[in-house]
Structure 1
Amino acid sequence: MLRSCLLLRGPPQQLGGTIGDIEGMPFVEAFRQFQFKAKRENFYNIHVSLVPQPSATGEQKTKPTQNSIRALRGLGLSPDLIVCRSSTPIEMAVKEKISMFCHVKPEQVMCIHDVSSTYRVPVLLEQQGIVQHFKERLDLPVGDSSSGLLLRWGNMADRYEKLQKTCSIALVGKYTKLRDCYASVFKALEHSALAVNHRLNLMYIDSIDLEQDTKAQDPVRFHEAWQKLCTADGVLVPGGFGLRGTLGKMQAISWARTKKIPFLGVCLGMQLAVIEFARNCLDMEDANSTEFEPSTPVPLVIDMPEHNPGELGGTMRLGLRRTVFKTQNSVLRKLYGDVPFIEERHRHRYEVNPSLISHFEQKDLAFVGQDVDGNRMEIIELANHPYFVGVQFHPEFSSRPMKPSPPYLGLLLAATGNLRAYLQQMGPPPPSDEYSNENGDSYAQPRMAELEIS
């Protein structure tokens, strides 16, 4: 059954237009029209508003909320729920005032004050009866199982605040100055760190700072970057585009491989791991990617367009794709629940050249996961290493707080010295013979949500 939810932050001036200016807020007009097509039982409007508290008086002000609600109604939308943000808990008198002047019931005013972590927010909303409110307003089939989920979520929030041990992960990327570029990666690492009862210390390292050119130009920055890398418990090399910074990434990969530091390469990180291994372990000094050197004599990574050759996004391999495990003896397969195949989201254009993978068969680097046709290399694993894994897909997109992404979980388990113990204690595979991203679940075994490793 269709369920629609419009979440707005007020006042409307901050939404891209002036009050009453519908052309400045086309999405508001679209939802105004959509509410009649979807009908009331399938449409829900949540309005988020700030309740400021000036330090001079200490009084919580409701006028901004009243004004934004008035402007929203002038645009043809009425809130079903008003969520009030504040630095301190909102007083009952203030809540009743908002209820009276905004023409909603008191139970339709929810208050969220600053809390110790974002994981506390759902607990705060549940305490104010939001689940029951949704159930009655939208006639949702919410059963007793939701209470168990909320209980586990509350336990997770409690555990997050009590974490004492810290795990340091070095993220070696090209866009570290714009850290929002790695927001999904950061959350996936945080989910996994919480699952293994450690607080995440994520150290951002610009890959250029690890290169010799930086040593000549700015030795202080060079040594600071390498000091971070040397003190990390694990190394992550995420995706990216272009030649800039790739040498620094490969140096970080080489460090993790030779020093037995847990490593995870995602997308470009996996491709560079293959190139680094070919250059340093297979005597293929000219191995390269055609993205960086179109005329390379050893095209180890090549352009494999999904559809027709062209420019930019039209050639990218996007969306949920199936990866088949080619061996039973795979760390990542065990982390996924010992399933024969998985489905993960992709976003790339270049891939490992399938015609050259035979050179790796006699060495320790194995392509343990491929697409259904065996033409696209999806997963690499290095034997005789605590954890050296590369994936062509982006598992961070499907990570959830209580269901961390298996590749990221493996990195944190290895970085904290718990990977072997965890793999030994894992139970039999789930009833289903596949791993799927359906309903946003990123992990095959539900009991993963309650992982607690001492």
Structure 2
Amino acid sequence: MSNMKYILVTGGVISGVGKGVISSTFGAILKSCGIEVTSIKIDPYINLDAGTFSPYEHGEVYVLDDGGEVDLDLGNYERFLNITLHKQNNITTGKIYKQVIDRERQGDYLGKTVQVVPHVTDAIQEWVERVAQKPVSETGKIPEVCIIELGGIVGDIESMAFVEAFRQFQFRVKRENFCVAHVSLVPQPKTTGEHKTKPTQSSVRELRGLGLSPDIIVCRSEKPIGQSVKDKISNFCHVAPEQIISIPDLSSVYEVPVFMENHGMASYLNERLKLGLTFGSSKRYMKPWIDLSERMNHLKGEVVIAIVGKYTRLEDSYTSVTKALHHAGIKAGFKVIIKFIEASNLENTMLQDDPVAYHDAWHTLCLCDAVVVPGGFGKRGVEGKTVACKWCRLNKKPFLGICLGFQSAVIEFARNVLNIQNANSSEIDDKLENPVILDMPEYNTSEKGGTMRLGKRATMFRIKENSKINQLYGNKDTIYERHRHRYEVNTAYLNDLEKNGLKFVGCSLDQQRLEIFELDNHPYYVGVQYHPEYLSRPLNPSPPFLGLILAAKDKLKSYLSKGCKLSPREPQSEYYDSEEEEINELTVTVNNLSANDTDSSAYSSSSIP
């Protein structure tokens, strides 16, 4: 293909309508057809990146291989497309303006007045073209299609410069190489019971008024919209009815790629962007997605996992953790039920302040099958995380500690097994002479953004014998996972901790930083300094999470004894005896998915991959 193709995804009516999933779906469909795809997320805020955001402000901060702290939608892209993105795949207003100002200081504009048009809009277009041409890490090939998601909604003052940039960009790259998909909410008020198209009409009118005409309108609604509603939107928005796609709430977003493809999306994009694809009579290129949906719809049991966190008021704060748990559940054959517990509600002080919240938190913890204590920053809730670690240790409850959860478990062990009464982290008490958890001076600066130990780092196994986590990783000597922290375990306590049963089986290559621990004589008590959730994929779950799910259902020992293979009676990838059987199965599945109208939210945090 001689020219790069671009798909711009915009949103209307409300934010959070599912642009990230729709953008990922376009990529998943095209990649299934053999097209090399890359993605860009545009966030109109002035922050340079997402690194300094409170999780309550913008959900979790997603970390890339190169240490980029970016919007959580890039996690969607990586999971759907199974590609590795980079920090430049996330564009912010702050990044663009910083680049323009730096160039002005260097005299690159030859004394001209620097303005939004043309200087900022040109910088946006140049950034998009530069990133789109970057080879895909997994294949080394130049992408053929770049999918660009514009955050927020059309009409936001923050995004005006980007909309103007793409108005110009469509002529720069020519119409046959540029397609616009507009995602809009079509509400259905209970008072009338009918879908209302006015918000979508207004949104499209504003988009067209700014110089961009949608080629595709994706209508998001709780229930499917009828043909008459599509015709009405088509009539007022100047888009053919067949280019208006209704995506109701599905039982899982894993069904969205098959659902959209069943409406002929690949054929339309092939014709609209002149991709030169040829299609057979079957939908065999979508088979991995069909298989995944099938496995999710035929999970045999349930497993209840408690997440003891600090930011549980917004479930998006732990998006990657919940996705990793679901990936592991699909692999093991169980539907994962997640219970969020506010860590501070487990603390003894809460017994006096709010006894109902205290008892509810402990009741939930006691009834779960396994516990995850994820990362976080600051003092609040750390004591709650620590008592959760103690409860799991003493009651043989499967446990996975991540980052601060890893550190909290070490603090708890030092206090209650080593009898170091004031054991703590220097993050919590900076006056301790010998903290069990201490700061890394080279990462502790006066600035907050981008100053942690970030990105993909190597972890070597220093102890492999009888290590469950090493077996789950395939008995490797070295693994690579993504990090985001500025505190670490004090190695001065290593010998005492290990003598008492807390074995640090993994460390950094220079053996200066402790990365993984396992507890002796426990079904599964594992902590990791890194964030394994970032590299979990729907068809390739993260090993620590898979181990947790299997241990929760008392299947880990059997799994490890069989060389990390599930027994024939447990869910695995499906195989067919003949091509005819495969095609028949795919046809039935696609038809079922297109008829699957359900009220459960496709975009809840429990279902996004």
Kindly indicate whether the alpha-carbon contact (under 8 Å) linking 1:402 and 1:450 is maintained by their aligned counterparts in 2: no
Query: Is residue 430 of structure 2 the alignment partner of residue 294 of structure 1?
Result: yes
Q: Deviations over 1:272-314 (max 9, x none)?
A: 1112112222233332211111121322211114557333235
Specify whether residues 116 and 326 from structure 1 end up closer, same or farther in structure 2 by C-alpha distance, changes over 3 A only: same
My pick for the range that moved more, 273-282 or 23-32, is: 23-32
Give the Cα separation in 1 of the matches to 2:512 and 2:276. 44
Specify whether residues 392 and 37 from structure 1 end up closer, same or farther in structure 2 by C-alpha distance, changes over 3 A only: farther
Give the Cα separation in 2 of the matches to 1:333 and 1:4. 42
Q: Deviations over 1:103-159 (max 9, x none)?
A: 444443222123333332222112112233334444658799995563342233234
Give the Cα separation in 2 of the matches to 1:449 and 1:43. 40
Query: Is residue 259 of structure 2 the alignment partner of residue 257 of structure 1?
Result: no
Give the Cα separation in 1 of the matches to 2:486 and 2:315. 23
Give the Cα separation in 1 of the matches to 2:171 and 2:398. 54
Specify whether residues 266 and 140 from structure 1 end up closer, same or farther in structure 2 by C-alpha distance, changes over 3 A only: farther
Query: Is residue 573 of structure 2 the alignment partner of residue 450 of structure 1?
Result: yes
Higher relative contact order structure (alpha carbons within 8 Å, sequence separation ≥ 6): 2
Partner residue of 1:317 out of 427, 434, 453: 453
Kindly indicate whether the alpha-carbon contact (under 8 Å) linking 2:328 and 2:546 is maintained by their aligned counterparts in 1: yes
- TM-score, normalised relative to structure 2: 0.64
Specify whether residues 307 and 112 from structure 1 end up closer, same or farther in structure 2 by C-alpha distance, changes over 3 A only: same
Give the Cα separation in 2 of the matches to 1:420 and 1:42. 53
Correspondence for 2:473: 336
Give the Cα separation in 2 of the matches to 1:30 and 1:244. 43
Correspondence for 1:382: 519
How far residue 246 of structure 1 moved from its aligned partner, in angstroms, is: 1.5
How far residue 186 of structure 1 moved from its aligned partner, in angstroms, is: 1.9
Give the Cα separation in 2 of the matches to 1:34 and 1:424. 57
Q: Equivalent residues in 2 for 1:48-447 (5 A)?
A: 48-53=183-188, 60-99=195-234, 101-138=236-273, 150-163=286-299, 165-307=301-443, 309-329=445-465, 330-426=467-563
How far residue 262 of structure 1 moved from its aligned partner, in angstroms, is: 0.4
Give the Cα separation in 1 of the matches to 2:226 and 2:153. 32
Specify whether residues 207 and 66 from structure 1 end up closer, same or farther in structure 2 by C-alpha distance, changes over 3 A only: closer
How far residue 389 of structure 1 moved from its aligned partner, in angstroms, is: 0.9
Instruction: Using the aligned pairs only, state the percent identity.
Output: 51
Correspondence for 2:166: 31
How far residue 370 of structure 1 moved from its aligned partner, in angstroms, is: 1.7
Give the Cα separation in 1 of the matches to 2:552 and 2:154. 51
SS at match of 2:246: strand
Kindly indicate whether the alpha-carbon contact (under 8 Å) linking 1:12 and 1:18 is maintained by their aligned counterparts in 2: no
Correspondence for 2:93: none
My pick for the range that moved more, 276-285 or 234-243, is: 276-285
How far residue 373 of structure 1 moved from its aligned partner, in angstroms, is: 1.9
Give the Cα separation in 2 of the matches to 1:393 and 1:171. 17
Specify whether residues 156 and 285 from structure 1 end up closer, same or farther in structure 2 by C-alpha distance, changes over 3 A only: same
Kindly indicate whether the alpha-carbon contact (under 8 Å) linking 2:409 and 2:527 is maintained by their aligned counterparts in 1: yes
Kindly indicate whether the alpha-carbon contact (under 8 Å) linking 2:403 and 2:531 is maintained by their aligned counterparts in 1: yes
My pick for the range that moved more, 375-384 or 1-10, is: 1-10
Which amino acid in the other structure matches residue 421 of structure 1? S
- TM-score, normalised relative to structure 1: 0.83
How far residue 57 of structure 1 moved from its aligned partner, in angstroms, is: 6.0
How far residue 94 of structure 1 moved from its aligned partner, in angstroms, is: 4.0
SS at match of 2:449: helix
Which amino acid in the other structure matches residue 197 of structure 1? G
Kindly indicate whether the alpha-carbon contact (under 8 Å) linking 2:471 and 2:564 is maintained by their aligned counterparts in 1: no
Correspondence for 2:594: none
Which amino acid in the other structure matches residue 387 of structure 1? Y
My pick for the range that moved more, 259-268 or 51-60, is: 51-60
My pick for the range that moved more, 359-368 or 124-133, is: 359-368
Give the Cα separation in 2 of the matches to 1:105 and 1:2. 25
SS at match of 2:400: strand
Give the Cα separation in 1 of the matches to 2:364 and 2:278. 48
My pick for the range that moved more, 371-380 or 268-277, is: 371-380
My pick for the range that moved more, 417-426 or 51-60, is: 51-60
Q: Which runs of 5+ in 1 are unaligned?
A: 429-447
Which amino acid in the other structure matches residue 369 of structure 1? G
Correspondence for 2:98: none
How far residue 415 of structure 1 moved from its aligned partner, in angstroms, is: 0.6
Kindly indicate whether the alpha-carbon contact (under 8 Å) linking 2:435 and 2:490 is maintained by their aligned counterparts in 1: yes
Specify whether residues 46 and 336 from structure 1 end up closer, same or farther in structure 2 by C-alpha distance, changes over 3 A only: farther
Specify whether residues 427 and 268 from structure 1 end up closer, same or farther in structure 2 by C-alpha distance, changes over 3 A only: closer
How far residue 59 of structure 1 moved from its aligned partner, in angstroms, is: 5.0
